[in-house]
Copies of this chain bind each other. A is one copy, B any other.
Amino acid sequence: MMQLDIRIKMNEKLYLRNPEESALGKRIVNRGLTLINKLGFEDFTFKKLAKEIDTTEASIYRYFENKHRLLIYLIAWYWSFLEYKVVFSINNITDPVIKLKAIISLLVVEPDKKMRNDFISEWEAYQLVKWEGSKAYLTRSVTRDNKDRLFKPYKDLCARIANIIKECNPKYKFPNSLASTMLEMSHAQKFFMENLPSLTDSQKIEDSKLTLFLEEVIFKVLQK
């Protein structure tokens, strides 16, 4: 797949000051992602990040209200970016089955570690979603955050996949649930493979098996 040079428009409620508009902001996002991945979200603090990028805690707080908002920002970026990739990769494909296969492949195959898109590393964002993705919404502030449309990128992607599912089988009753299952499971099963392998059927970490598993689930369910 060719390199996409995409600028993703982020929801303004995600930040206090747009991090894309300054060198410091970009460093906060970029290195913040790296540091969350390194320490885990629980142990990550703005103070540690400040030290890492040689600035002050107070400066970071001018960009993001708190570390949870930074997390949502990064995860929203990932889902937006993935939607672009999806749109791009299914362009010109008419068969919805092939479209879904292309999407599954985008979900399962880890992005190239070296590739740097925009100011965020796609590979790092993928790791983040795998490890911390559900922490974005598993909080008491879901409803509020949802009203602020912070989860819009995820919901948009889900809706897009649901539409392709409907193309496959217009009579299928649960296209949205199947789409969210697909999104959730690709990351969860990957996490299990790598960390709790007895919950899966892959001794070795094999994307091919996960792909097969997901394809089977989706297409058997959609069989008429």
Contact = CB atoms under 8 A, between A and B. Distances in A.
A173 B139 contact: no
Contact of A217 (B138, B180, B196, B221): B221
Given A140-B40, A140-B43, A142-B196, A173 B135 contact: no
A212 interface: yes
A10 interface: no
A195 B134 contact: no
A184 B220 CA distance: 20
Contacts of A139: 40, 42
B155 A217 contact: no
Q: Is the interface of A mostly helix, strand, loop or mixed?
A: helix
A130 B189 CA distance: 18
A192 interface: yes
A173 B208 CA distance: 13
A196 B135 contact: no
Instruction: Give the size range of A's interface with the partner.
Output: 35 or more
A93 interface: no
Interface string A172-203: 01111111110011001101100110111100
A89 B91 CA distance: 49
A198 B137 contact: no
Contacts of A201: 173-177
A165 to B, nearest CB: 11
A151 interface: yes
A178 B200 CA distance: 8
A131 B85 CA distance: 31
Nearest to A180: B199
A39 interface: yes
A158 interface: yes
A185 B181 CA distance: 7
18 contacts: A40-B140, A134-B138, A134-B188, A138-B191, A151-B196, A154-B199, A155-B198, A174-B201, A176-B198, A176-B200, A177-B199, A178-B217, A181-B185, A181-B188, A184-B188, A217-B217, A217-B221, A220-B220
